Amino acid sequence: MQLQAVHRPTPHPNPNRVLGSPSLRGLISEMAGRKVSCTYYPADFDPAKIPRRIRANKQKQEFKLAVMMLPVSIRCKTCGEETHRGTRFGTRLEEIQEETDLEMKVMRFYLKCPKCSQEIKIKTDPQNLDYIVESGADRLID
């Protein structure tokens, strides 16, 4: 019994050259052209006729939206979820007009528990350079 040599094709030394052939290059550009979003605008299309959304007047809002880091560690009273200091939250920020301490503004932050969405209120305390958890959660000792 004689062993025969099996012919294995050798890889091309430059694999980019195979894709760079003129016939394949046209095919690739043709396929890339199909990726564009196909939106059809009729001849009588007028973008001015599209109704615009009515946005709320920002000056009428009594509060501002802000992203803040949680200044103290808290535990939600509803679900018991512990949220630690430094967690980022989207909050509503309210300036309390009737309270001033050491001629500094007192602010109130409204945030939601990440687990149960219970509203939590935190107020600044300029007298003690601290924060007071008003409702919705208990403060944990850091």
Q: What is the predicted pLDDT for the residue at 41?
A: 79
Residues 6+ apart with CB under 8 A from 135: 119, 120, 121
Strands of the sheet with 130-135, listed across from one edge: 64-69, 88-101, 104-112, 119-125, 130-135
Beta bridge partners of 109: 93, 122
Q: What is the predicted pLDDT for the residue at 97?
A: 82
pLDDT averaged over every residue in the chain: 78
Least confident of 21-25, 50-54, 72-76, 138-142: 21-25
Beta bridge partners of 142: none
Could you give the CA distance from residue 80 to residue 85 in angstroms, rounded to a whole number? 16
The structure's pTM equals 0.55
**Residue 134: band (very low, low, confident or very high) from pLDDT cuts 50, 70, 90:** very high
Average pLDDT over residues 109-113: 92
Q: What is the predicted pLDDT for the residue at 31?
A: 56
CA atoms within 13 A on the CB side of 32: 6
Residues 6+ apart with CB under 8 A from 138: 74, 75, 77
**Residue 139: band (very low, low, confident or very high) from pLDDT cuts 50, 70, 90:** very high
Q: pLDDT higher for 79 or 6?
A: 79
Residue type (1 letter), 112: K
Q: What is the predicted pLDDT for the residue at 87?
A: 92
